[in-house]
Chains A and B, each alone.
Chain A
Amino acid sequence: MTAELKDDPVPAPRPGAPLLEVDDLHVRFRVRDQDVHAVNGLSYTLAEGETLAILGESGSGKSVAAQAVMGILDMPPARIERGSVRLRGEELLGLPERRRRAYRGDRISMIFQDALSALNPVFTVGDQIREMYRVHRGLGRRASRDKAVELMERVRIPSAAKRLGDYPHQFSGGMRQRIMIAMALALDPDVLIADEPTTALDVTVQAQIMRLLAEIQDELRMGMVLITHDLGVVAGVADRIVVMYAGSVAEQSPARDLYARPAHPYTKGLLASVPRLDRRGDALVPIKGAPPNPAALPPGCPFQPRCPRAEAVCSAESPPLVTVAPGHDAACHFAEEVYGAGTE
């Protein structure tokens, strides 16, 4: 156990390299003799202080991709086929586990959807937060305790010192998610991956948690990857948005531009299927059909069977990412036309 008290030194950042780069990431699962293509060539970059939202339906591979970046996929059955994940220029994929572990929780940390099941039910929340300091920093009892209280106060848990000895099930949903956040922030990470952080919460609590995350991010200047299926959650906080469909990028764009002028029929469909205050009276239009089975993706463009614009070329060739405006790309054969048409 002494080995884990001292992490291997994290190399000094390389000047000029972006905070987090994910490049052409491919993840497959081997399930019951079937190859499931969960992530097919995902790429994005995250700058310091930036919030990048990854938007997608369940099954789009967004959580799997996050776990691959984090290095916590179960392998097997998962396999990272190719691609690259670089933190300040240093390649993380293929690092020996001991080195990789030094980054996890320390430089990159993650919070999950359901804090009740994501926290260990048999340890007090204090124990679980203090574990970060004890394992990564080798702090003793007192020091780690003080740090934990400080951290719980920072995420605004009332009477933090008293609640240190409580178990996860004794907290409300929102408070539990604050504990998760506290744990993730313990070591001032450079990147925080938030996987559906508010999905399991009431709407009012959702807003509080999102505000807390935004404030802390500003304070620490860390990059945040926000994974969600909820356009509403994304709206206020994201600087840039990556829309994922069937394991790859359908569209990526600065947030404002995406809402105003989507360049992919899928994004357009998504926007048309949620109610918006500024478009009262418009009928909501659901996207026809269901997301494809990742074990048997359709030929060509994965969205083609559901796409209202689909033509012969769509099932023949998979579309490349087309740049329609600076920083705004869409993987569609008709990206220019869709972009040109606006949201009408």
Chain B
Amino acid sequence: MKSEQPDAGPPVLEPETAPDAGAPAASAAAVAVAGGELGRASLWDDAWHDLRRRWIFWGSVAVLAVVTVMAAVPRLFTATGVNEGCDPNDSKLGPSGDHWFGTDLAGCDYYAHVVHGARPTLLIGVAVTAFALLIAMVFGMLAGYYGGILDTLIARLTDIFFGLPFVLGATVILVAFPSHGVWAMTLVLVLLGWTTMIRIMRGQVISVRDADYVQAARLLGASDGRIMTRHVLPNAIAPVIVIATLNIGHVIVGEATLDFLGVGLQYPQVSWGLQLNQAKDSFIDHPHLLIFPAVFLSATVLSFLLLGDAVRDALDPKLR
């Protein structure tokens, strides 16, 4: 066996360690503060520099841009509204010149429906993540920064909610409110989905809290609020942003699964998950009913995942 060539990443190089011997000792606090902020700026600069050269990054951004426009202004893609111009006689037609993606069970144009399906899917994914991120940033910061009883309380609460798996918990709760729309669903999913990010945020804050530049800011008399927003948050947020990006993808898959099970969005609403649900009895003979929404859904989720991975790799110099 060929050995001695462990192809791990770059080494933890001695030359890269800070050369502290001979460094001017002038105003340690000022240097430390500047160091913290310089470090941050160059972290994101470096990441951007790195991202710019990756085709995966640009590919994901392009797919997400198209899907976002589709969700915001569906009229740009189709003149047909939801459940408009449906003809039951044309049920389950395959793709053709008239109907690019064929027609669904009720004879509606499938392309138009797939276009309109982007909005609720994307909205739920982004809204759930945004609220969860907000909760994570506020409470994760407070818990990590102050510690003590508040931290214990938040940690125990997180444990409890973490004990309820996402789809399983949503199934049981959503069954109890049968007539829910996009926002009720968002609420339930936030309730079940806030725990991952808060744990990471808290851990990050704890690791940054005692850093030298934070101590220095404290010595210079900065208030807790200022330290948290100006010094801790910017240095703690990077991994949380990465997880948030990935989380949008996970929420979209979760939402689609709930739609599929029949506890998510309900007819006459339109979403990719719901289309997949309706395809379940006829996809063997009419695979287009499965393929089109599945491809759109998966491409969107994949883009979020690849985007998150790319940002993570760019932010983590160890992995370069």
Chain A CB within 8 A of B4 CB: yes
A294 contacts B320, CB within 8 Å? no
Given contacts A78-B11, A286-B22, A290-B22, contact A97 B3 (CB under 8 A): yes
List A88-134 residues whose CB lies under 8 Å from chain B: 97, 100-101
- The closest CB in chain A to the CB of B7 belongs to A76
A64 contacts B14, CB within 8 Å? yes
Query: Which residues from chain A contact B4 at a C-beta distance below 8 Å?
Result: 71, 75, 97, 100
Q: Other CB < 8 Å A-B pairs besides A57-B22, A287-B21, 4 of them?
A: A31-B10, A61-B15, A287-B22, A290-B22
Chain B CB within 8 A of A59 CB: yes
A29 contacts B19, CB within 8 Å? no
- The A/B interface has a contact count, at CB < 8 Å, of 64
Report how many residues on chain A are interfacial, defined by Cβ distance under 8 Å.
32
Query: Which residues from chain A contact B13 at a C-beta distance below 8 Å?
Result: 29, 31, 36, 38
A29 contacts B11, CB within 8 Å? yes
Interface residues of A (CB under 8 A from B): 29, 31-32, 36, 38, 57-61, 63-64, 71, 74-78, 97, 100-101, 229, 286-291, 293-295, 306
Q: How far is the CB of A169 from chain B (nearest CB, A)?
A: 20
A291 contacts B3, CB within 8 Å? no
Q: How far is the CB of B16 from chain A (nearest CB, A)?
A: 8
Query: Complex Cα distance A71/B22, Å?
Result: 32
Query: Complex Cα distance A36/B10, Å?
Result: 12
Instruction: Please list 11 pairs of residues, one from A and one from B, whose beta carbons are closer than 8 Å in the complex, sorted by A's number.
Output: A29-B13, A29-B15, A36-B15, A58-B19, A64-B14, A71-B4, A75-B4, A291-B19, A291-B21, A291-B22, A295-B15
B2 contacts A59, CB within 8 Å? no
Q: How far is the CB of B170 from chain A (nearest CB, A)?
A: 37
Query: Which residues from chain A contact B3 at a C-beta distance below 8 Å?
Result: 97, 101
Q: How far is the CB of B130 from chain A (nearest CB, A)?
A: 35
Q: How far is the CB of B301 from chain A (nearest CB, A)?
A: 32
Query: Complex Cα distance A40/B11, Å?
Result: 18
Q: How far is the CB of B46 from chain A (nearest CB, A)?
A: 11
A77 contacts B11, CB within 8 Å? yes
Q: Provide the B103-118 mask, 1 if CB < 8 A to any CB of A, else 0.
A: 0000000000000000
B14 contacts A61, CB within 8 Å? yes
Q: For B22, give its contact among A78, A97, A289 (CB under 8 Å).
A: A289
Query: Which residues from chain B contact A229 at a C-beta distance below 8 Å?
Result: 21
Query: Complex Cα distance A300/B246, Å?
Result: 51
Query: Which residues from chain A contact B17 at a C-beta distance below 8 Å?
Result: 58-59
- The closest CB in chain A to the CB of B8 belongs to A74
B10 contacts A77, CB within 8 Å? yes
Q: How far is the CB of A134 from chain B (nearest CB, A)?
A: 19
Chain A CB within 8 A of B38 CB: no
Query: Which residues from chain B contact A60 at a C-beta distance below 8 Å?
Result: 14
Query: Complex Cα distance A229/B19, Å?
Result: 12
Query: Which residues from chain A contact B22 at a C-beta distance below 8 Å?
Result: 57, 286-291, 306
Q: For B320, give its contact among A32, A75, A291, A306 (CB under 8 Å).
A: A32
